[in-house]
Amino acid sequence: MRSENTPFVGGPLDGRVLPVLVGPTGHPPKIYRVPVPAPTEDTPPTVHIYRRVSVVAGRRLPLHRGWRYEYDPDGDPGGPKWPWSRRATPGRPPG
């Protein structure tokens, strides 16, 4: 398995560069989850979510220069955006 050094922006891993395994296409996963154990038995464990973002070099000619992960404080599950499915809105059941 090949890995790629990927920078993390925001959240508890801000400024760190970690090796992330890449898939068969050479891309790291779209979502990187960092599980944090509970400090006490009374509190549930926490999961920090980072989303993959393309790093663009230059404004005139936006060339792809790799990937980085940005912290997602909301932790929205995301998922596939199929044309026949709708996002859940307040006051309306999903589906």
Low-confidence residues of the chain: pLDDT under 70: 77-79, 85-95
pLDDT, residue 79, reads 67
pLDDT, residue 75, reads 77
Task: Give the three-class secondary structure for 94.
Answer: coil
pLDDT, residue 94, reads 56
pLDDT, residue 53, reads 92
* 17-21: strand order across its sheet: 17-21, 3-9, 63-72, 46-57, 31-36
Write the pLDDT tens digit of every residue in 50-59.
Answer: 999 988 877 7
pLDDT, residue 74, reads 86
Question: pTM value?
Answer: 0.73
pLDDT, residue 19, reads 94
Taking the domains of the chain in order of start, what are their residue ranges? 3-72
pLDDT, residue 8, reads 95
Lookup result for tokens 């404080």: 73
